[in-house]
Structure 1
Amino acid sequence: MSDDYLRLRSPELSAALQDDVPVIICLGAIEQHGDHLPVGTDTIQAEGLARKAKEVLDARGIRLLLGPSITFGLRQFPSEAPRDRVGTVSISSGLFQSLVKEVANELIRHGFRRLYLLIGHAENDAPAQLAAKELSEETDAVVTTINWLVVSGRLNKGSSAFSSPQGHGGAGETSRMMVLLPDSVDLRAGKAFYPKRYGETYEGADPPYVGGAVGRYKTPPDSFSSDFAGIIGSPEESSAEAGVRLIDMIGTWIADVVEFEESIWKGPPRLASRV
Structure 2
Amino acid sequence: MENTGFNLENKRKLLYKRKRRRKIIFRLTLLFTLIFCVSIYFILNSKGLINRKVTLSPPKEKEFIVCIDPGHGDFDIGSKSPSGSLEKDIVLSISLKLGELLEKENIKVVYTRTNDSLPWLDDANDSLKERIKISEVFKSDLFISIHCNSNYDDTNAKGIETWYKLNDEESKDFAEDIQLSLSNLNYTDNRGVKTYAKKEDALAVLELNSANSALVELGFLSNSLDEKYLTLDSNQDKIANALKEGILRQLAVDN
Q: Which has the higher strand share?
A: 2
TM-score, structure 2 as length reference: 0.43
User: Which is higher, the Rg of structure 1 or of structure 2?
Assistant: 2
